[in-house]
Amino acid sequence: MRDRVAIAGVGETEYRPWGGVTDRSEFQLACEAILAASADAGLSPHDLDGFASYANDRNDAPRLAAALGCAELRFSGMVWDGGGGGVCAAVAHAAHAIHAGAASAVAVVRALCQGQFGRFGRIGGRAPGRQAAAPSVPPGFAYALPMGLLSPAAMCALIVRRHMHEFGTTHHQMGHVAVAARGHAQLNPRAVMHGRPLTLEEHAAARLIADPFRLHDCCLETDGACALILVSAERARDLRRRPVHVLAAAEGGEGAWGASLYTHAAPAPPYPSANLAPVARRLWAMAGCGPADIDVAQVYENFTGMVLLALEDLGFCARGEGGPFVEDGKLAGPAGALPLNTAGGNLAEAYVHGLNLVLEGVRQMRGESTCQVRDAELCLVAGGPGVAPTSALVLRRG
């Protein structure tokens, strides 16, 4: 698959705080994002013959194909569960379908409008003012609910707290992730947190959510949708925009983890980690490059502390050194040693289960980011840390 498939178009709706979209349905947002991505690529939505998504996205492929007027539906793919871990895997599945000849133009889409549905993490609850059915509870929660683990924040807090105990990681170090993301959002008018900068002092003083996470350690809750269009690299050369090649993609994780946020397999050798190390080994082998070659990175931030573990697993620093690694402005783009989440990421741009991170990677490779890294040729995108399965991509400038 290496360099055989390209991202030809990207599109998104506006991003609003949780519950902020009341004038359209979540399905309409998905269609809007796909239409925008198709226009960006110079394609008609009728040209699409495949759809891919993840995290049990509610907008199924047959309904999208019918609404968009697709001539034929040849491929549909869903990366089940894993939350934001599946973001890069969905792109990979679309790329595999094109490379195998199963489809010619695949849209990867994620729409998230939780104000219209039961909210992720609201166990047994309903969206305020809505009559939607409560979300189903995954089987793994049988291990978590009796112990009071009612949210991803509490589940990831256990992993990070263990990392702090073993390696001396500090909450101040996590603050560098949050402050860098918020700084990048000040350059991005699309970002929900545009116009709202953050200091390390404000990060440290915010209210506690789940020890050690405070308010600004946690990803946003937003409404919105985004999409991207993949075609063969050969076809992409004749389309409207500069193509961005999918150099490598990998998904999975340590088998012993299972649904790691629920079961917390503490006896397993990788614990505490982001469950990205086995994915990273296969990713770098496929890409023919390594962490030192990456110009800019988009790493899923469900919580700041999990980013430190992800950077370790991905090979940017040794195990236990994620905290010191992010200090001294390394993450602040565009001139940092490793510019991270240059549109603001899940912490400051929007939370669309991380697909907006892939869009920002594409913009970096096109030279169109609001926080552009000079002469960037390779971008790493990594999915949700601490979940199973998770996934990662390496994008290359075309």
CA torsion sign for 376, 79, 300, 109 is positive
Q: Is 54 one of the annotated active-site residues of the chain?
A: no
**DSSP-derived 3-state class of residue 9:** strand
Taking a C-beta distance cutoff of 8 angstroms, is the pair 300, 293 a contact? no
Tokens (6 digits) for 48: 């699409």
Question: Considering 15, 262, 271, 351, which one is annotated as catalytic?
Answer: 351
Peptide bond into 272 cis (omega under 30): yes
Taking a C-beta distance cutoff of 8 angstroms, is the pair 48, 76 a contact? no
Residues whose CB is less than 8 angstroms from the CB of residue 186 and which lie 6 or more positions away in sequence, other chains included: 194, 195, 197
Nearest to 373 by CA among 298, 302, 270: 298
CB atoms within 10 A of CB 345: 30
In angstroms, rounded to a whole number, what is the distance separating the alpha carbons of residues 56 and 86? Answer: 10
Backbone angles phi, psi at 386, to 5 degrees: 90, 5
CB atoms within 10 A of CB 194: 18
CA torsion sign for 77, 79, 80, 81 is negative
Q: Map tokens 């991270």 to a residue.
A: 340
Q: Is 300 one of the annotated active-site residues of the chain?
A: yes
Taking each continuous run of H as one helix and of E as one strand, the counts in the chain are: 13, 12
Residues whose CB is less than 8 angstroms from the CB of residue 66 and which lie 6 or more positions away in sequence, other chains included: none
Question: Considering 15, 262, 271, 300, which one is annotated as catalytic?
Answer: 300
CB atoms within 10 A of CB 62: 11
Nearest to 383 by CA among 249, 285, 203, 254: 249
Q: Where are the alpha helices (DSSP H) in 216-348?
A: 233-236, 260-263, 277-287, 304-313, 322-325, 345-348
Peptide bond into 291 cis (omega under 30): no
In angstroms, rounded to a whole number, what is the distance separating the alpha carbons of residues 6 and 144? Answer: 41
Q: Which residues are catalytic?
A: 300, 351
